[in-house]
């Protein structure tokens, strides 16, 4: 009989694969596929046709029928470049009641617990099925989950309750913001800065869009929040730019400037209207540039689009998690997850996983032993419910 690894042993193995989003996740997928196969569990991988070095994986245990509980996590992690780690980021180290390692919190700790639960379910013959879904490229905009969700449905019986295990301190998170992100290339026209009125400065034109986003943020801040928006901090939709670069010299109008712009929307916001508003402003600035020189232009590339997670009325996933955890408080978060994408595809979804989001992406990332054990206890109780 194949060896059944503990959750900690599985997490240690998963952490050892440096699945930074820019790199491959196939060695991890290969290992999970082999481990499940050793226990008689057939898994299915979805290879990304545009990125042959990446794949998603999903599997089903229990009665071959609809209504499964789906345990969903992502396999990619953020980079460790330039971060001051006290130990090897890709080796789990225990000290001071904590497990350190890149992904321990976000979110290979949950992935390990989900893999452990799936194998345990195989040996316990549950009355209700359990499914595992492991995606990629969550950290670069949740781009890997939608094709995975689409690929799952014709292959596996459709699940009815999805638990996305992002770190929530094992609380039931029923809502989060969504949004869109864009990469903007502004192409101006170079002249000497002494005659800047005859040229188009790409940096200064980009600044118009960024200054406008600040004005929009102040307008949104001043509005009375809707009941849904009031659940969030901050209780409004925000526009943000985090990266900008361009120009060649102080005395030349910049030929090129590139920057990112994106919004995080409360779940009841009209995302189409927000996207149109951003694109309309960019178009307005571009028209002003082209009035000076017709070669000037702005190119917009969508980086990601993540739907919000809306609190469900009598949501099945929420109800299941609350019964297991005893948590009846209301919890929402301002970051995005793959839960909104599952919800868009017709699944009931909730976010619940071990660890504190404050530790995610940090140097010396960790999950406390207590939280990891709480996640293990959650999976034990979930298995009990599947057998009822």
pLDDT per position as a tens digit, 161-188 = 999 999 999 999 999 999 999 999 999 9
Q: How confident is the model at residue 33 (pLDDT cuts 50, 70, 90)?
A: very high
CA-to-CA distance for 201 and 248, rounded, in angstroms?
11
DSSP type of residue 197: G
Report the pLDDT value the prediction gives residue 304, as an integer from 0 to 100: 86
pLDDT in tens, 220-239: 999 999 998 999 999 999 99
Of all residues in the chain, what percent carry a pLDDT higher than 70? 100
What is the value of pTM for the model shown? 0.89
pLDDT in tens, 40-96: 999 999 999 999 999 999 999 999 999 999 999 999 999 999 999 999 999 999 999
Inform me whether the pLDDT recorded for 145 exceeds 80.
Answer: yes
DSSP type of residue 200: B
CA-to-CA distance for 108 and 372, rounded, in angstroms?
11
DSSP type of residue 70: E
Contacts for 311-317: CB closer than 8 Å, 24+ residues apart: 311/174, 311/175, 311/228, 311/231, 311/267, 312/174, 312/343, 312/348, 315/174, 315/348, 315/349, 315/350, 316/160, 316/161, 316/348, 317/161, 317/162, 317/163, 317/347, 317/348, 317/349, 317/350
What is the arrangement of strands in the sheet containing 43-48, beginning at the earlier edge strand?
43-48, 51-61, 130-135, 69-74, 161-164, 348-351, 173-176, 331-333
Q: Backbone phi, then psi, for 35, in 5-degree steps?
A: -65, -45
CA atoms in the 13 A half-sphere facing the CB of 33? 14
Report the pLDDT value the prediction gives residue 302, as an integer from 0 to 100: 92
Q: Backbone phi, then psi, for 293, in 5-degree steps?
A: -150, 120
CB atoms within 10 A of CB 139: 22
Inform me whether the pLDDT recorded for 330 exceeds 90.
Answer: no
């Amino acid at each position: 009989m194949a060896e059944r690894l503990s959750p900690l042993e599985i997490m240690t193995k998963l952490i050892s694969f440096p699945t930074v989003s820019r790199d491959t996740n196939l060695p991890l997928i290969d290992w999970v596929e082999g481990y499940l196969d050793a226990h008689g569990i057939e898994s299915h991988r979805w290879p990304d046709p545009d990125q042959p070095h990446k794949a998603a994986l999903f599997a089903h245990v229990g009665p071959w029928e609809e209504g499964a509980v789906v345990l969903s996590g992502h396999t990619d992690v953020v980079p460790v470049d330039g971060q001051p780690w006290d130990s090897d980021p890709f080796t789990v180290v225990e000290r001071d009641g904590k497990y350190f390692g890149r992904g321990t919190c976000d979110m290979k700790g949950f992935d390990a617990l989900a893999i452990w639960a799936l194998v345990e379910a195989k040996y316990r013959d549950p009355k209700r099925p359990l499914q595992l879904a492991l995606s990629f490229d969550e950290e670069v905009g949740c781009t890997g989950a939608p094709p995975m969700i689409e690929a799952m449905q014709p292959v596996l019986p459709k699940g009815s309750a999805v638990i996305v295990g992002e770190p929530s301190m094992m609380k039931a998170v029923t809502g989060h913001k969504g949004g869109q992100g864009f990469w903007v290339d502004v192409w101006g026209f170079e002249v000497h800065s002494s005659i800047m009125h005859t040229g188009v400065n790409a940096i200064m034109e980009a600044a118009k869009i960024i200054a406008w986003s600040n004005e929009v943020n102040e307008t949104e801040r001043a509005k009375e929040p809707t009941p849904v928006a009031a659940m969030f901090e901050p209780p409004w939709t925000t526009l943000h730019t985090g990266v900008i670069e361009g120009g060649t010299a102080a005395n030349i109008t910049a030929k090129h400037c590139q920057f990112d712009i994106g919004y995080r929307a409360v779940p009841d916001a009209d995302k189409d209207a927000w996207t149109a508003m951003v694109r309309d402003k960019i178009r307005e600035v571009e028209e002003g540039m082209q009035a000076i020189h017709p070669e000037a232009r702005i190119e917009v590339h969508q980086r990601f689009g993540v739907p919000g997670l809306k609190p469900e009325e009598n949501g099945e996933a929420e109800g299941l998690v609350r019964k297991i955890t005893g948590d009846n408080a209301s919890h929402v978060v301002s970051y995005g997850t793959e839960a909104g994408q599952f919800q868009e595809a017709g699944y009931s979804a909730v976010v619940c996983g071990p660890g504190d989001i404050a530790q995610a992406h940090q140097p010396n990332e960790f999950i406390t032993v207590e939280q990891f054990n709480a996640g293990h206890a959650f999976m034990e109780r979930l298995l009990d419910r599947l057998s009822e």
